Amino acid sequence: MDRIYLVGFMGSGKTTTGKRLSEKLNFQWIDTDKFIERRRNKTVSQIISENGQDKYRQIENSVIEELSTYEGVVVSCGGGLPCFYDNMLIMNKTGITIYLKTSITVLVERLKTAKAERFFLKNKPEDELEEYISKTLQGREFFYNQAKIIIDTQENFGITENIVENLRIRKLINNKAVL
């Protein structure tokens, strides 16, 4: 287990959980959006505005292919990354995928205050936010549910510990050393 990929909708806690999990496991933490921004010297919003969403999804694909060769990493993936090309397949073949499953109600509450920072939300009126999240999540769950581990994030505590326990159980089942 050299690679852990966190997937889920924006606002599901991939960044916070990724940081905490990487500290607990003594792994490097990588956020795919930040990784792309550093490489391109542009924000995600700038890249999408200048080149379109399709080009951004191609960039994400090349990044996940590269990160799939890294060792000792926790990768927090952009919300749409698992849904394009064969990204979920790549991640499932090269590491442990974890879906941070979050209810629409919780996502709406979390994303209300972060709309300006999110390219796909910044121009959405608040009264359309829930519908957008619901519709988009419905289209993405097919991919998210392919994760090897699904963690319900309804309770906003104990998520990292829950993941570590799941990883321990996986190792025991595979007759490997326990974390």
- pLDDT band of residue 92 (cuts 50, 70, 90) is very high
Contacts of residue 157, defined as CB under 8 A and 6 or more positions apart, other chains included, come to none
The pLDDT tens digits of the residues spanning 125-149 come to: 777 888 998 999 999 999 999 999 9
Domain range enclosing 92: 3-162
In a domain, 146, yes or no: yes
For residue 176, the model assigns a pLDDT of 39
Between helices 53-67 and 32-40, what is the axis angle to 10°? 110
User: What CA–CA distance (Å, rounded) separates 53 from 42?
Assistant: 14
**Mean pLDDT taken over the chain:** 87
pLDDT band (50, 70, 90) for residue 115: low
Domain count within the chain? 1
Predicted local confidence at residue 156, as pLDDT: 62
Structure tokens, 145: 């549910």
Q: Say if 53 falls within a structural domain.
A: yes
The pTM of the full predicted model, rounded to 2 decimals, is 0.87
Residue 175 belongs to a domain = no
Inside any domain, residue 139: yes
- Pair type for strands 3-7 and 149-152: unpaired
- 127 vs 102, higher pLDDT: 102
- 57 occurs within a structural domain: yes
pLDDT tens sequence across 20-79: 999 988 999 999 999 999 999 999 989 999 999 999 999 999 999 999 999 999 999 999
Is 93 domain-assigned?
yes
Whether 101 is covered by a domain: the verdict is: yes
Q: Is residue 115 part of a domain?
A: yes
CATH of the domain at 139: 3.40.50.300
Buried b (16+ CB within 10 A) or exposed e, 102-118: beeebbbebbeeeeeee
